[in-house]
C-alpha cells in the first residue's frame, strides 16, 4: 500500500489569488461597464528587451545547426553565464565567489522550495510574517512544521517573525533558537528593505547559533537607495552562513522564460547529528545533479544578454518604469491619507488600512469605489492583516487612471 507524504495534508489551501479572481469576476459581471484596473499583479507586463530576444533567436539558430547544436548542458549551468554573473553581480561589488558556487536554475521559486531537500527535517525554521508562501509551504511539506492552528493562523513549530509598522518591518531576532532562517529583501510583499547594519545582526546571529540564512534577493534590481545592500555577501562573514537566491524574473521580465541562480559559498556548512561539518554546496550540487538537468541553452543565452551594455540599459529602463509606477501609487495613497511602506526600493507598495479595517474589507471597498484590484495583506500571513499590497507592474496608463480613481474615492 503506497503511503502518501501526510505532511501535505497539513497545508492550508491558499485561496488568496483564486478568491481575488472570483470576486473580480463577480464584480465585473454585476458592473459590466466598469473598467477594472489590476494593481494586484505580481507579474511583469513589459515585453522582453530586444537584446535578450536577439540572443535567444541566435541560440535557436545554433540549435538548428549540427555544428553548434547543444544537447545536455551542465546541471549547474553554462560557464558563459556564470562568468557574467560573477563579474557583473558580484566582483563589481567587491564580492569574491567562484564559478562552482553559482547554480543556474529555472527559477527562485524552484530553488527556495527544493533547497529544503538537503536539510534535516528536525531543523527549526524561521520565516518573516507576512511572507512569500513558498518558504513556508515547502517546509510544511518536508515535515518541519506541526499542525496549522486556526486561531492564530500559524503552523506549530514554525517560528514567525512579525513585521508590521510597530517594528518598522524590521524582524526581531528570534527568541527561540532557529536553524533555517528565510529572509527576502527587498521584501515581498511589504516592499521594505534592511540596511547593512540590520542584515549584519542576522549574519551574526546565524554565525553564533550555526544557523543557515536563506536569502531571497529576487527584487534586488529595484533597490534605488545607495546604502541598501544588493547581496547578503556585502555583509562581513555572510559567506559562512548564507545562501543567496537571485532571479531574472523581475530583473529582466523572465517570469515566462524561467531563469534564476542560487549562490552557495563553499564555506557554508551544515551539521550531522554527531556535529560533523558538511559542505552545503556539495549537497546542493549532488541534489541538482540527481534531480535537475540544467536550464535551456536558449534561455541561458538570453540571460547572458542582460549583462551586455545594451541589455543592461534595456532592463534598467523597464525597472525604472515599474518603479515610477510604484512612486505614483505611493504618492497618490499618501495624498489621500494612507500610511504606506515600500515602493522605493521595490515594485511593491504596502499600505496600512485606516480605522483598523480588515484587509479583505479594504479589498471590497477599493474594488467597489475605485474599481482597483489589489492583494489583501492577510493572505501573506497573520501579521499582514490590516495591510494591503499594490504593485507597480501595471501599465503606465492603468497606473495613472488608478491614481486618479483613488483620489476620487475619498472625495
- Residue whose CB is less far from a copy of itself, 158 or 280: 280
60 binds a copy of itself, rule: CB under 8 A: yes
Report the Cα–Cα distance between both ends of the chain, in Å, rounded. 64
- Residue whose CB is less far from a copy of itself, 199 or 280: 280
- Residue whose CB is less far from a copy of itself, 193 or 252: 252
Considering only residues 133, 162, 174, 382, which one is a binding residue for a copy of itself as defined by CB under 8 A? 133
Q: Are 194 and 138 in contact (CB under 8 A)?
A: no
> What distance lies between CA 236 and its chain's CA centroid?
23
Considering only residues 147, 271, 316, 410, which one is a binding residue for a copy of itself as defined by CB under 8 A? 271
202 binds a copy of itself, rule: CB under 8 A: no
50 binds a copy of itself, rule: CB under 8 A: yes
CB atoms within 10 A of CB 338: 18
Point out which span in 151-159, 189-197, 219-227, 271-279 binds a copy of itself (CB under 8 A). Answer: 271-279
Per-residue CA distances from 201 to 207, 212, 259 (Å): 10, 13, 31
CB under 8 Å to 382, separation ≥6 — which residues? 129, 152, 153, 154, 160
> Nearest distance from residue 151's CB to a copy of itself, in Å?
24
Q: Interaction with a copy of itself in 338-397: which residues (CB under 8 A)?
A: none
21 binds a copy of itself, rule: CB under 8 A: no
CB atoms within 10 A of CB 217: 24
Q: Are 126 and 178 in contact (CB under 8 A)?
A: yes
> Nearest distance from residue 277's CB to a copy of itself, in Å?
9
DSSP H/E element including 339: strand 339-342
Range 266-270 contact pairs with CB under 8 angstroms and sequence separation of 24 or more? 266/98, 266/100, 266/101, 267/239, 267/240, 268/212, 268/239, 268/240, 268/241, 268/242, 268/243, 270/118, 270/119, 270/120, 270/212
11 binds a copy of itself, rule: CB under 8 A: yes
Q: Interaction with a copy of itself in 273-302: which residues (CB under 8 A)?
A: 273, 275, 278, 280, 283, 286-287, 290-299
> Nearest distance from residue 112's CB to a copy of itself, in Å?
8
258 binds a copy of itself, rule: CB under 8 A: yes
CA 353/CA 340 separation, integer angstroms:
9
222 binds a copy of itself, rule: CB under 8 A: no
Point out which span in 20-28, 40-48, 90-98, 338-346 binds a copy of itself (CB under 8 A). Answer: 40-48
Considering only residues 53, 149, 197, 410, which one is a binding residue for a copy of itself as defined by CB under 8 A? 53
48 binds a copy of itself, rule: CB under 8 A: yes
Q: Interaction with a copy of itself in 73-112: which residues (CB under 8 A)?
A: 73, 106-107, 109-110
- Left (φ > 0), alpha (ψ -120 to 50) or beta: where does 186 sit? beta
What is the three-state SS of 223-251?
CCCCCCCCCHHHCCCHHHHEEEEEECHHH
Angle CA 85–344–115, to nearest 5: 45
> Nearest distance from residue 339's CB to a copy of itself, in Å?
30
Closest CA to 347 of 313, 321, 381: 321
Per-residue CA distances from 21 to 36, 134, 336, 373 (Å): 12, 20, 27, 9
- Residue whose CB is less far from a copy of itself, 138 or 353: 138
- Residue whose CB is less far from a copy of itself, 197 or 289: 289
- Residue whose CB is less far from a copy of itself, 101 or 164: 101
- Residue whose CB is less far from a copy of itself, 134 or 217: 134
304 binds a copy of itself, rule: CB under 8 A: no
47 binds a copy of itself, rule: CB under 8 A: yes
User: What phi, psi does 26 have (nearest 5°)?
Assistant: -60, -45
Point out which span in 93-101, 210-218, 305-313, 365-373 binds a copy of itself (CB under 8 A). Answer: 210-218
> Nearest distance from residue 394's CB to a copy of itself, in Å?
12
141 binds a copy of itself, rule: CB under 8 A: yes
Which three-class secondary structure state does DSSP give residue 286? helix
Point out which span in 207-215, 323-331, 334-342, 349-357 binds a copy of itself (CB under 8 A). Answer: 207-215
> What distance lies between CA 49 and its chain's CA centroid?
21
Amino acid at each position: 500500500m503506497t503511503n502518501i507524504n501526510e505532511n501535505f495534508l497539513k497545508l492550508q489551501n491558499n485561496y488568496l489569488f483564486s478568491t481575488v479572481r472570483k470576486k473580480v469576476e463577480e464584480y465585473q459581471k454585476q458592473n459590466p461597464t466598469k473598467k477594472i484596473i489590476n494593481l494586484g499583479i505580481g507579474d511583469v507586463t513589459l515585453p522582453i528587451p530586444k537584446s535578450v530576444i536577439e540572443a535567444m533567436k541566435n541560440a535557436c539558430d545554433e540549435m538548428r545547426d549540427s555544428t553548434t547544436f547543444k544537447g545536455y548542458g551542465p546541471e549547474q549551468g553554462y560557464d558563459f553565464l556564470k562568468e557574467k554573473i560573477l563579474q557583473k553581480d558580484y566582483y563589481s561589488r567587491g564580492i569574491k565567489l567562484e564559478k562552482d558556487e553559482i547554480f543556474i536554475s529555472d527559477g527562485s521559486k524552484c530553488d527556495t522550495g527544493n533547497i529544503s531537500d538537503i536539510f534535516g527535517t528536525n531543523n527549526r525554521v524561521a520565516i518573516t510574517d507576512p511572507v512569500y508562501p513558498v518558504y513556508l509551504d515547502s517546509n510544511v511539506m518536508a515535515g518541519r512544521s506541526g499542525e496549522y492552528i486556526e486561531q492564530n493562523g500559524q503552523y506549530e513549530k514554525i517560528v514567525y517573525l512579525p513585521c508590521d509598522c510597530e517594528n518598522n518591518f524590521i524582524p526581531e531576532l528570534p527568541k527561540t533558537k532557529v536553524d533555517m532562517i528565510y529572509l527576502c529583501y527587498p521584501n515581498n510583499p511589504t516592499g521594505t528593505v534592511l540596511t547593512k547594519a540590520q542584515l549584519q545582526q542576522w549574519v551574526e546571529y546565524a554565525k553564533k547559533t550555526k544557523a543557515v540564512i536563506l536569502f531571497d534577493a529576487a527584487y534586488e534590481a529595484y533597490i534605488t537607495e545607495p546604502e541598501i545592500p544588493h547581496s547578503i555577501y556585502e555583509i562581513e562573514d555572510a559567506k559562512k552562513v548564507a545562501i543567496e537566491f537571485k532571479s531574472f524574473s523581475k530583473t529582466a521580465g523572465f517570469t515566462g522564460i524561467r531563469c534564476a541562480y542560487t549562490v552557495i559559498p563553499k564555506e557554508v556548512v551544515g551539521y550531522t547529528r554527531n556535529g560533523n561539518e558538511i559542505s552545503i554546496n556539495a549537497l546542493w550540487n549532488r541534489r541538482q545533479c540527481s534531480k535537475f538537468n540544467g536550464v535551456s541553452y536558449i534561455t541561458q543565452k538570453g540571460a547572458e544578454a542582460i549583462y551586455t551594455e545594451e541589455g543592461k540599459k534595456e532592463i534598467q529602463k523597464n525597472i525604472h518604469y515599474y518603479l515610477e509606477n510604484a512612486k505614483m501609487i505611493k504618492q497618490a495613497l499618501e495624498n489621500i491619507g494612507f500610511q504606506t511602506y515600500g515602493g522605493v526600493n521595490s515594485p511593491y507598495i504596502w499600505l496600512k488600512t485606516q480605522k483598523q479595517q480588515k484587509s479583505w474589507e479594504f479589498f471590497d471597498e477599493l474594488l467597489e469605489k475605485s474599481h482597483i484590484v489589489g492583494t489583501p495583506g492577510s493572505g501573506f500571513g497573520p501579521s499582514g492583516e490590516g495591510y494591503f499590497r499594490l504593485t507597480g507592474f501595471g501599465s503606465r496608463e492603468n497606473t495613472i487612471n488608478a491614481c486618479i480613481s483613488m483620489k476620487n474615492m475619498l472625495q
